[in-house]
Amino acid sequence: MTADTTTLTLVVNGEEHRVAFPTHHTLLEVLREECGLTGTKHGCELGECGACTVLVDGRPVLSCLALAAEMEDKRIETIEGMQEANELHPLQLTFADLGAAQCGYCTPAILLTAQALLQSNPSPTEQETRDALAGVLCRCTGYIKILQAVEGAAALQRGEEWQAPEEALYGEPAGKLTGPALEERNDG
């Protein structure tokens, strides 16, 4: 190994990974290329889109901006570690139930960010959820089902019963339109 190479042990999803990589590599590069954990996505690689978000010691971190060489003795969690054995995390369940993921590219980052939110705040308001997820951009959705899925997962984690709102599954009935859509219908 040269002086430009770093060798260390990363703890990812509770497992130790002995890795050697060029010292300038980001956590994103090492997770994908050295650990084979491709659930963490390459996005803008500028820290603007949030698609590369992982948890480091329980906090969301943009892995494209974090140097892997600084991650020794830290607990890293990727989307691959979210499921426990054969049991999906409540967030994964509610996202699936509501169809909250569209293309899925940003979904790992949203799920991990929401997990960190629910660990620190088991009953977030909608605005607190919006604020927490603001750093992860999604080009496919309007975020409504994502917010509903986080709300549902929070309820499940608190031990409450939760069922997806009928409107989330089947759409808003025509008789319940409000706002500009209703005004257009009445004007037309």
Whose structure tokens read 């980052």? 109
Buried b (16+ CB within 10 A) or exposed e, 149-170: bbbbbbbbbeeeebebeeebee
Q: pTM here?
A: 0.87
Amino acid at 149: A
In order along its 188 residues, the chain shows pLDDT tens digits of 556 999 999 999 999 999 999 999 999 999 999 999 999 999 999 999 999 999 999 999 999 999 999 999 999 999 999 998 889 999 999 999 999 988 999 999 999 999 999 999 999 999 999 999 999 999 888 899 999 999 999 999 999 999 887 777 777 776 665 566 555 555 55
Residues in a beta bridge with 15: 12
3-state SS class at 182: helix
To which H or E segment does residue 94 belong? Answer: helix 90-98
**What CA–CA distance (Å, rounded) separates 119 from 93?**
17
